[in-house]
Amino acid sequence: MFDYCIFPDGPEGIEIGFTSDLFEGIMWKEGEYIVISDITSKKPRQGNLSQLFKNIINKDLGIKITNPLPIMENICKKKGFILTQGPVHPGICDDVVNIYIQKPNES
C-alpha cells in the first residue's frame, strides 16, 4: 500500500527535483521506494529524468516504474533497472503488470 502521493512542487517533490516546470504527473512513496506510473517530462532529452532518478537514489530510496510506455521502458533498460512482474496494489487490484525496479543504493 502506498504511504502517500508526491506531487510536482510539493515538499517531497521539490526535495528530489520533481517540479512543475520539468514534469507533469504524480508519484507515490511506498516504503523504501518511489513508485512512478505516469509522469511526463516537459523538457525531454535534457537529462531531467536522469537527474530525478539520481536524486531519488541519493535519498537512499529505490525506484519502481509500473507498466511503462515503450520510451520509458527503453530508458529503464539502459539504466539497468530489473524487470519484474506483479500487482501494483496487492489485495486491492491484483492485475499483474510489468514493474522495472532499481533498488536503493544500486545506481
State pLDDT tens for residues 13-30: 999 999 999 999 999 999
What is the torsion angle, in degrees rounded to the nearest 10, for the CA atoms of residue 61, residue 30, residue 25 and residue 84?
Answer: 80
The CATH number linked to 97 is: 3.40.630
Answer yes or no: is 75 within a domain: yes
Q: How far apart are CA 87 and CA 97, in angstroms?
A: 6
Predicted pLDDT at 37: 85
> Cα–Cα distance between 78 and 80 in angstroms, integer?
6
The residue with cell 503488470 is: 97
> Distance between terminal CA atoms of the chain?
25
Tell me what the mean pLDDT of segment 71-98 comes to: 86
Structural domain span for residue 87: 4-102
Q: Write out pLDDT tens, residues 41-71.
A: 999 999 999 999 999 999 999 999 999 989 9
What is the count of structural domains for the chain?
Answer: 1
pLDDT band at 3 (very low <50, low <70, confident <90, very high): confident
